[in-house]
Structure 1
Amino acid sequence: MLYDTIGKTYAQTRQSDPRIAAKLLEILKPFQASTIVDIGAGTGSYALYLAEHGYQVLAVEPSTVMRHQAIAHPAVRWIDAKAEHLSLPSHSADVAIIILALHHFPDYSQALQEIHRVTGSGQMVIFTYDPDLISSFWLTEYFPSFIADVQSTFLPITTLTAEMATIKDRAVNIVPFPLPHDLSDSFAAVGWARPELYLKHNIRNGISSFAKLNENELEQGLSNLRKDLETGIWDQKHGYLRQHTFYDVGYRFVFTAQ
């Protein structure tokens, strides 16, 4: 399992970002839910946040390494299961959330069907990435295989919304989420305005796309990025991003309507 290998220090770099968490709360509020099932909960940073805001959370995570890093909370119950085979009763949660985890599910369609079984008439909220936008992200200039990786692992937004609409038999909303420049959840685009972050091993270690790179491309890309930062070439081409507070890299909240 990938995250049993790369996830040993995950809790240090993949902390819940307050802006993402606040947007999640905003989306959840109209649903009047009490029990949330967090699928692919990782080390539980968002599960903990929801618990601290009054929700009962069922945190589903198959990686032992990830679960063992979680901070205990009486309102969070951890479950060792995969998204395609949830060991939960039908209609046992009001809402399901998937935060940057759907692309790790081997069978996304089966996973969504299982989530529908567990939530019944309840909602699905997914935080994901639009793979159509990956080639416009400057990071792919240094690591070009990111393009194929993202396009092969992330569902196109149109495919995802169509699947969700069919399963839940209701409309699906898509809300762009521009990333803050000081993002605290260090996923793949964390350094959109802070390219120096990608030179740090602990940052890269929590990003699955880096784990899948071959050694030659990784070393060459890091060498090129380091050189372009030292010579000012990166700033000549992309330095305007340092002046932005938020930037739409391609992340989206996708959720079923009431």
Structure 2
Amino acid sequence: MKAKYDTIGINYNETRSADPYITEQLLKKLKPKAFGLYLDIGCGTGNYTNEFNKHGYRFIGIDPSDEMLKKAKQKNKNIDWKLGKAENITLKTETLDGIIGSLTIHHWTDLGKSFTELYRVLKPKTNIVIFTSTPKQMKGYWLNHYFPKMLEDSMQQMPSLDTIEKTMTLAGFSEIKTEPYFIKPDLKDLFLYCGKQNPSLYLDAAIRHGISSFSSLANKDEVENGLEKLKKDIENNEINNIIQSYENNLGDYLFISGKK
């Protein structure tokens, strides 16, 4: 995973900007205080960490990728950036006032150990907020029509909501709540389902490079064939029928919050 994101991190900032709405929702659920200390676990190039800092909150950013952190440090040298993983957080027990993890838990090698570590470093009566997607939600992505194997492999990475909730509970978290997120037309963070309403985004190689499913999991032949078919369907408007056939009310991603 480290090598994967060292590669993706080279041009990551070109397509993965912090989305204002997602930023707002993460902070709303975290409920940070002006003088607290918070963690952005799996911070990547620090796009969201930096936005949280701009809102006046003190954050530490932890990520396993040197390349990602190199970009993060260039963005803001006043933030404490640390090389590390969720499974082994080099912070003292009960030192944090809250934790945010955005599109990262599917990269954790041990979900139970990770949530146990996150619980350990949190102070009592503080919040954790996770932004992720579940296999159930991903089955509703119209991308399955063009890249079935890629989506299958992506879904295998993703822990189910039931698994996440049970693992968080076993780690000690309580008051676990969920809220679905539906892709907005003006999304600024171009992650996997960014093209839900704008399929032509996937024809851009730079955008695909910033998405781990395309850059690391996908079979080259499937991607090429899928893109060719997608391009034709966009041109003849068949894409509208495909999109409509996948419409659902499950949400595209999910906010999951809990309390220590």
Q: Provide TM-score, normalisation by structure 2.
A: 0.91
State the percentage of identical aligned residues: 34
Residues 51-130 of structure 1 mapped to structure 2, 5 A cutoff: 51-70=53-72, 71-74=75-78, 76-121=79-124, 122-130=126-134
Change (3 A) 1:178 1:33: farther
SS at match of 1:125: strand
**Displacement after TM superposition at 1:120 (Å):** 3.9
Tell me, in whole angstroms, the C-alpha distance in 2 between the residues paired with 1:22 and 1:33.
19
- Gap runs ≥5 in structure 1: none
CA contact (8 A) 1:179 1:248 kept: no
Change (3 A) 1:208 1:175: same
**Displacement after TM superposition at 1:158 (Å):** 1.3
2:7 to 5, 12, 32: 5
1:163 to 162, 167, 188: 167
**Displacement after TM superposition at 1:249 (Å):** 4.2
| CA offsets 1:39-97 (integer angstroms, 9 cap, x no match) | 100010111111111211110012111111121152x2000111111111111211111
SS at match of 2:178: strand
The residue number in structure 1 matching 2:150 is 146
The residue number in structure 1 matching 2:196 is 192
SS at match of 2:131: strand
| CA offsets 1:17-38 (integer angstroms, 9 cap, x no match) | 0000011121122778711111
- Gap runs ≥5 in structure 2: none
Change (3 A) 1:30 1:43: closer
**Displacement after TM superposition at 1:147 (Å):** 3.3
Tell me, in whole angstroms, the C-alpha distance in 2 between the residues paired with 1:33 and 1:119.
15
Tell me, in whole angstroms, the C-alpha distance in 1 between the residues paired with 2:244 and 2:168.
39
The residue number in structure 2 matching 1:47 is 49
Q: Provide TM-score, normalisation by structure 1.
A: 0.91
| CA offsets 1:169-189 (integer angstroms, 9 cap, x no match) | 422000111221121000001
The residue number in structure 1 matching 2:234 is 229
**Displacement after TM superposition at 1:125 (Å):** 0.9
Report whether the alignment pairs 1:135 with 2:136: no
CA contact (8 A) 1:137 1:249 kept: no
Tell me, in whole angstroms, the C-alpha distance in 2 between the residues paired with 1:238 and 1:179.
13
Deviates most, 183-192 or 248-257? 248-257
Letter in 2 for 1:183: L
Tell me, in whole angstroms, the C-alpha distance in 1 between the residues paired with 2:5 and 2:152.
21
